[in-house]
Amino acid sequence: AQKITQTQPGMFVQEKEAVTLDCTYDTSDPSYGLFWYKQPSSGEMIFLIYQGSYDQQNATEGRYSLNFQKARKSANLVISASQLGDSAMYFCAMRGFNNAGNMLTFGGGTRLMVKP
Amino acid sequence: NAGVTQTPKFQVLKTGQSMTLQCAQDMNHNSMYWYRQDPGMGLRLIYYSASEGTTDKGEVPNGYNVSRLNKREFSLRLESAAPSQTSVYFCASSAGTGYDEKLFFGSGTQLSVL
C-alpha cells in the first residue's frame, strides 16, 4: 500500500525567503509519480509540480522545485523567494500502480504562512 | 476554460436525506474521481472511473454510489446522508490512469449533514 507523510502541520516563512516543505513516501511500486498541489483559502486544488520515479533530474516549475531523493523516499517541495500569495495548504501526493487503479494518494498537508 | 465543473457548491442536508453531486469535465478525459476532504486532512478517494462504463471503489466508498453517465459526467450519490459525511467533496479528472497523469480538480462542494 502507498503512504505519504508530511510531518510539518504548519510552517512560517518570511517573505522573499526560501522554504522547504517535507514529504516522505512509502511504496513497493517500481514506477510512480510524485505531485504537489496547493490549496489556497478559497479551496481549489492547484497542481504545482510533478516528478517521475525514473526522472534523473529534479523537477522545476518557476519558483517551485522538487528535491527528489529516491533512496530516502523523499520528495520535498522548495519554494524560492516566498510571496504573500504562497500562504496556503500544500499537499504531497503519489500515484503508482496498485490494486485501486493507480489512485492518487495524498498526505495530510502542510499549512504555510508567509509573513510580511 | 471550464475544466471540471461541480454542482452544487454548498449543500445542507438532514440526516437520512439523499442527494446527488454532479460533476462534468470538458477536457475529453477518460478517468474521473470523487474525493472527500475532512477538516485539516488530505483528500481521500471515494470512487473512481478509469474509463467510460467502469467504476471502482476507492479508499472510503461506504455510504456512496456513483454513476459514470457518459465520458463527460460522473455523479456521486448519498442515499441516506449521515453526519459523518459532512465534508468537502472534490471531483477530479485525468487523461488516463498512468502514474504520470496529473489530476485536474473541480472547485469543491461543501456538504453539511445535520
* Under 8 Å between Cβ of B77 and B19: yes
pLDDT at B62 exceeding the cut of 60: yes
Q: What's the pLDDT score for residue A20? A: 98
Q: What's the pLDDT score for residue B110? A: 96
Of B27, B93, B19, A45, the C-alpha closest to B7 is: B19
Task: Write out the three cell numbers for A64.
Answer: 517551485
Closest residue in B to A52 (Cα) is B100
Alpha carbon A102 to its chain centroid, in Å, reads 18
B71-107 pLDDT tens trace = 999 999 999 999 999 999 999 999 988 888 899 999 9
Residues of chain B contacting A100 with CB distance shorter than 8 Å: 45, 48, 56-59
Of all residues in chain A, the percent with pLDDT exceeding 70 is 96
B46-59 pLDDT tens trace = 999 999 999 999 99
- Option in B33, B57, B105 nearest A44 (CB): B105
